[in-house]
Amino acid sequence: MKLIAALALFAFAVSAAEPIRLWPAAAPGETGTIGEEKDMSKPGEGLVAGKPIIRTGNVSDPTLTVFRPAKEKDTGTAVVVCPGGGYSILAYDLEGSEVCEWLNSIGVTGVLVKYRVPARKDRPRFEAPLQDTQRAICLTRQHAAEWGINPQRIGVLGFSAGGHLAAVTSNATALSYPAIDAADAGSFAPNFTVLIYPAYLVTKELALVPELPVTEKTPPTFIAMSQDDPVGVEGALHYSLALKKAKVSFETHIYPVGGHGYGLRRTDKMVTTWPDRVADWMRASGLLKAESHEQK
């Protein structure tokens, strides 16, 4: 009876889009000393398209939240979403929940990852977030049948620092933490990748950073960015060239103006039409065509 009750509670959590803890105990390497998780935003600070942003900080207990599309729209495709925030905070609504709601509108399940921030001392800034994102992909693939997802159609989408994280996740060659249960026995690799104004892809010398060993196994990738982005458009361009050299399918859109950090909030800048281009790319790739969700 206890098991049945637990399963029922878990099913309710998913349908109600309640957060699910990524780790059964403390996340790998966590000491619990960074302070209380909270919204770091200040009233009127940094509005985007006239609206405020939730800036979630001090995350030490990472979670995933599943956003399911309407049954009649469901394509069986899922996207793991990594908000940006410079590995300091998470732009949790602008580049997270709002994105999952848009994914639902095109029949895609959104899996929002609240990964650990800020970057941990004496660890590469992407190390703990990579563990969280890989774990989120493993859990999504483990529960694919339960969540109505095709396990061969699980992508990753990231913004800014989350774009760097999505790229690192897409090029990882091994699990970044010791396997802890059956979920980790499955594949941690995404099937496709979407990078929106990605940061930290190149060094000062304009070489790809070492954590991005692009090969023919790197998944098909969509990239969108503006030429005037203060992060520097060179990262998107050099990553695209690396994909071309590795003969990986990719589509890159560089817009002349638009800046950085717009999420999918529409403005008069053409760069904010990127969701339409992503939907076109996914449609052309067969990712928006409904098919059996059975595990293969």
More confident residue, 34 or 6: 34
Q: Dmax of the chain from CA atoms? A: 61
Supply the pLDDT for residue 17: 75
Q: Residue 1: is its pLDDT beyond 50?
A: no
**How would residue 12 be classed by pLDDT, with cut points 50, 70 and 90?**
very low
Q: What is the pLDDT of residues 165-222, one digit of tens each?
A: 999 999 999 999 999 999 999 999 999 999 999 999 999 999 999 999 999 999 999 9
Mean pLDDT across 24-28: 95
Residue 11 has pLDDT above 90, yes or no: no
Mean pLDDT on 244-260: 98
**What is the per-residue pLDDT across 48-101, written as a single tens digit (0 to 9) for each?**
998 999 999 999 999 999 999 999 999 999 999 999 999 999 999 999 999 999
User: Rounded to an integer, what distance in angstroms lies between the CA atom of residue 48 and that of residue 104?
Assistant: 22
| pLDDT number for residue 14 | 40
**Which is higher by pLDDT, 116 or 17?**
116
The pLDDT value recorded for residue 128 is: 98
End-to-end alpha-carbon separation of the chain, Å? 31
What's the whole-number average pLDDT of the chain? 92
Q: Is the pLDDT of residue 5 over 50?
A: no
**Alpha-carbon separation of residue 244 from 90, 108, 211 (angstroms):** 31, 27, 18
Contacts of 105 (CB under 8 A, 6+ apart): 69, 73
CA distances from 136 to 87, 155, 231, 234, 241 (A): 18, 11, 27, 29, 29
CATH superfamily, with its number, for domain 2-24+38-284: Alpha/Beta hydrolase fold, catalytic domain (3.40.50.1820)
* CA-wise closest residue to 278 among 125, 105, 160, 50: 105
Question: pLDDT tens digit string along 100-155?
Answer: 999 999 999 999 999 999 999 889 999 999 999 999 999 999 999 999 999 999 99
* Closest to 220 in 3D by CA, of 196, 246, 197: 246
pLDDT band at residue 290, thresholds of 50, 70 and 90?
confident
Average pLDDT over residues 237-263: 98
At 3 the pLDDT is: 39
Closest CA to 109 of 68, 153, 139, 141: 68
pLDDT band at 158 (very low <50, low <70, confident <90, very high): very high
Q: How many CB atoms lie within 10 A of CB 205?
A: 5
Neighbouring CB atoms inside 10 A of 174's CB total: 7
pLDDT at 16 exceeding the cut of 50? no
Give the span between the Cα atoms of 231 and 244, in whole angstroms. Answer: 22
Residue 111: CB partners within 8 Å, gap ≥ 6? 64, 65, 66, 67, 78, 79, 80, 81, 100, 136, 140
Burial class of residue 160 (count of CB atoms within 10 Å of its CB; 0-12, 13-18, 19+): buried
Among residues 25, 248, 198, 30, which one has the least CA distance to residue 120? 30
Question: Could you tell me the pTM of the whole model?
Answer: 0.92
Cα torsion angle, 14, 173, 132, 284, sign: negative
pLDDT at position 98: 97
